[in-house]
């Protein structure tokens, strides 16, 4: 893989032209080539594991335990799964042919799209590059990846190390920020996968329209978590553990599918808050067990969410910010006003509003009044409630009795709906994201029905 320094990124015409030439040569379509690229990615994860832990610590203060769980471990499993299955996914699939077409055979033939571009975000800066990249390579494309400039150590790591493990002629890393991204979008791509904010997502889509480039947008949202009354202490404790895992131990809540807020019945709220406080103390015995906030700008954005006096008054735990270490204490808020920024904007940080409802079923009405999120979570044993959530609400995914773990499953698609984006990937869906399903029909010269041609008469219409 070739790395392109920012100063050389002024014009990308040559880069795109070279990649198109490589793609047209058929090199990336070859199944052995695809396999060697996937193997290269697995080797990278194995041989450079410690370096990956180092850069994630530098960029985000991520603990190696978290980095292994959310980046290296998840990725390795996913890429090995692609290695084992991509030849089957790439094989033509026989389709049904109706009698009227007899004799004929029909197939769906997955073909690569061509030269594709992947923009990634800073919060999972390895996974959000390598998961889509592995899908694009398994599908036989030439690829440009643009890591986030806000995770500079990881971006530099990818630019320096990927060339050693992948085909530098067919895959390029372009480092840089918004200006580089804009210049990349001047060109025609066969697909753009963008992970990031809705604001930039809109710009990407507008620019892509000029070339009729298809896009997939992986955006953010406010992911709600319904917590129903749980009868046993054990169930409640499991729920609390998992809520904490999905909020504070996943990049300090800086994750698109982190729990944004909790919905709970009034009477259960004090119990839940007490259990959260106790378990937070138990889990975070050392400061380094929580990632830090990306930078001062994001720390300020988060502290501004608490600047509203009504919101500050709702803090029931934590609330302490440390600008020197860029850390924020795990913070619980009880019923901040629903019109405040903390309840209208994506939080993307370690602040957790708890909103009470009279009856847990009211949470469904609440969710239906909001834009469709990337994920909905619910902790409950109530099957009726589960079915109502599945049938009456819309979201990228629904997970019951856990949170975030759906990200690690290769068997289900990952992506948003409505305001949280569109286009799905992970596992086979990453392959499909970068493939075109070509319809192929093979007819025979054998039988010829003349009723399909003029001259028309009433007997033909009745056929």
Query: In the complex, what is the shortest distance from the CB of residue 9 to ligand NAD, in angstroms, rounded to a whole number?
Result: 12
The answer to whether residue 213 forms part of the interface with ligand NAD (CB under 6 A) is: no
DSSP secondary structure letter of residue 68:
I
Of 152 and 270, CB closest to ligand NAD = 152
Query: CA separation (Å) from 386 to 72, 421, 433?
Result: 32, 24, 29
- Total residues contacting ligand NAD by CB under 6 A comes to 28
Of 115 and 144, CB closest to ligand NAD = 144
SS3 211: coil
Query: In the complex, what is the shortest distance from the CB of residue 212 to ligand NAD, in angstroms, rounded to a whole number?
Result: 18
User: What's the first-to-final CA gap in the chain, in angstroms?
Assistant: 59
Q: What does the buried/exposed string (b/e) look like for 52-67 if buried means 16 or more CB atoms within 10 Å of the residue's CB? A: bbbbbbebbbbbbebb
Interface residue with ligand NAD among 185, 251, 342, 364 (CB under 6 A) is 185
Of 75 and 121, CB closest to ligand NAD = 121
Burial classification of residue 80, based on how many CB atoms lie within 10 Å of its CB (0-12 exposed, 13-18 middle, 19 or more buried): middle
Interface residue with ligand NAD among 218, 260, 265, 410 (CB under 6 A) is 218
SS3 228: coil
Query: In the complex, what is the shortest distance from the CB of residue 176 to ligand NAD, in angstroms, rounded to a whole number?
Result: 7
The answer to whether residue 66 forms part of the interface with ligand NAD (CB under 6 A) is: no
Q: Which are the contacts of 316, defined by CB distance < 8 A and separation ≥ 6?
A: 273, 332, 333, 334, 354
The answer to whether residue 120 forms part of the interface with ligand NAD (CB under 6 A) is: yes
Query: In the complex, what is the shortest distance from the CB of residue 218 to ligand NAD, in angstroms, rounded to a whole number?
Result: 3
Query: In the complex, what is the shortest distance from the CB of residue 425 to ligand NAD, in angstroms, rounded to a whole number?
Result: 9
Q: Which are the contacts of 18, defined by CB distance < 8 A and separation ≥ 6?
A: 169
What are the strands, taking DSSP E only, across 131-218?
Answer: 142-146, 171-174, 191-195, 215-218
- CB hemisphere CA count around 387 (13 angstroms): 3
The answer to whether residue 220 forms part of the interface with ligand NAD (CB under 6 A) is: yes
Sheet with 375-379, edge to edge strand ranges: 315-317, 331-334, 351-357, 261-265, 224-227, 375-379, 397-400
The one catalytic residue in 121, 225, 251, 256 is 256
Interface residue with ligand NAD among 9, 83, 115, 121 (CB under 6 A) is 121
Burial classification of residue 174, based on how many CB atoms lie within 10 Å of its CB (0-12 exposed, 13-18 middle, 19 or more buried): buried
The answer to whether residue 256 forms part of the interface with ligand NAD (CB under 6 A) is: yes
SS3 329: coil
Of 34 and 292, CB closest to ligand NAD = 292
The answer to whether residue 374 forms part of the interface with ligand NAD (CB under 6 A) is: yes
Extract the tokens encoding 288. Answer: 């380094």
Q: Is 121 one of the annotated active-site residues of the chain?
A: no
Extract the tokens encoding 233. Answer: 């202490």
Other CB atoms within 10 Å distance of the CB of residue 372 = 18
Task: Name the CA radius of gyration of the chain, rounded.
Answer: 25
Stretch that binds ligand NAD, among 3-11, 54-62, 115-123, 227-235 (CB under 6 A): 115-123
Pattern 140-179, binding to ligand NAD, x per CB under 6 A? ------x-xx---------------------------xx-
Give the separation between CA 315 and CA 352, rounded to whole angstroms. 9
Of 122 and 434, CB closest to ligand NAD = 122
The one catalytic residue in 71, 131, 175, 218 is 218
Of 143 and 219, CB closest to ligand NAD = 219
Of 9 and 263, CB closest to ligand NAD = 9
The answer to whether residue 219 forms part of the interface with ligand NAD (CB under 6 A) is: yes
Q: Which of residues 343-372 bind ligand NAD (CB under 6 A)?
A: 346, 348
Query: In the complex, what is the shortest distance from the CB of residue 394 to ligand NAD, in angstroms, rounded to a whole number?
Result: 16
Give the separation between CA 312 and CA 318, rounded to whole angstroms. 11
The answer to whether residue 181 forms part of the interface with ligand NAD (CB under 6 A) is: yes
The answer to whether residue 269 forms part of the interface with ligand NAD (CB under 6 A) is: no
Of 219 and 342, CB closest to ligand NAD = 219
Q: Is 218 one of the annotated active-site residues of the chain?
A: yes
Query: In the complex, what is the shortest distance from the CB of residue 70 to ligand NAD, in angstroms, rounded to a whole number?
Result: 12
Residues in touch with ligand NAD (CB under 6 A): 119-123, 128, 146, 148-149, 177-178, 181-182, 185, 195-197, 200, 203, 218-220, 256, 346, 348, 374, 416, 421
Residues with catalytic roles:
218, 256
């Amino acid at each position: 893989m070739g790395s392109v320094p920012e100063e050389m990124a002024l014009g990308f015409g040559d880069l795109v032209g070279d990649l198109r030439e490589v793609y047209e040569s058929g090199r990336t379509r070859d199944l052995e080539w695809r396999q060697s690229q996937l193997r290269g990615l697995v080797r990278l994860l194995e041989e450079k594991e410690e370096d990956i832990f180092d850069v994630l610590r530098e960029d985000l203060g991520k603990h190696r335990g978290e980095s292994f769980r959310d980046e290296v471990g998840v990725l390795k499993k996913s890429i090995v799964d692609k290695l084992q299955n991509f030849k089957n996914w790439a094989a033509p699939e026989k389709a049904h042919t109706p009698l009227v077409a007899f004799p004929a055979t029909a197939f769906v033939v997955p073909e690569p799209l061509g030269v594709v571009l992947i923009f990634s975000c800073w919060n999972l800066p390895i996974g959000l590059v390598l998961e889509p990249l592995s899908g694009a390579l398994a599908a036989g494309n030439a690829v440009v990846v643009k890591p986030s400039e806000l995770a500079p150590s990881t971006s530099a790591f990818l630019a320096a190390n990927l060339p050693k493990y992948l085909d530098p002629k067919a895959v390029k890393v372009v480092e840089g920020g918004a200006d580089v991204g804009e210049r990349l979008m001047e060109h025609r791509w066969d697909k753009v996968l963008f992970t990031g904010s809705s604001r930039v997502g809109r710009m990407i889509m507008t620019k892509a329209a000029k070339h009729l480039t298809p896009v997939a947008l992986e955006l953010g949202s406010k992911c709600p978590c319904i917590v129903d009354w749980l009868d046993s202490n054990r169930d409640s404790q499991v729920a609390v553990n998992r809520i904490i895992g999905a909020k504070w131990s996943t990049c300090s809540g800086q994750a698109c599918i982190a729990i944004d807020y909790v919905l709970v019945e009034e009477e259960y709220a004090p119990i839940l808050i007490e259990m959260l406080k106790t378990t937070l103390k138990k889990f975070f015995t050392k400061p380094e067990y929580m990632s830090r906030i990306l930078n001062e700008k994001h720390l300020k954005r988060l502290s501004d969410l608490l600047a509203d006096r009504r919101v500050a008054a709702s803090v029931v735990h934590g609330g302490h910010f440390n600008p020197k270490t860029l850390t924020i204490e795990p913070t619980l808020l009880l019923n901040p006003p629903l019109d405040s920024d903390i309840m209208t904007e994506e939080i993307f940080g370690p602040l957790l509003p708890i909103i009470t409802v009279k009856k847990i079923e009211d949470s469904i009405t609440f969710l239906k009044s909001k834009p469709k999120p990337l994920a909905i979570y619910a902790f409950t044993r109530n099957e009726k409630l589960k079915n109502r959530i599945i049938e009456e609400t819309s979201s990228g995914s629904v997970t019951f009795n856990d949170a975030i773990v759906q990200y690690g499953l290769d068997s289900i698609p990952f992506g948003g709906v409505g305001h949280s984006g569109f286009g799905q990937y992970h596992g086979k869906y990453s392959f499909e994201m970068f493939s075109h399903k070509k319809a192929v029909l093979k007819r025979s010269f054998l039988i010829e029905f003349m009723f399909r041609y003029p001259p028309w008469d009433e007997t033909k219409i009745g056929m």
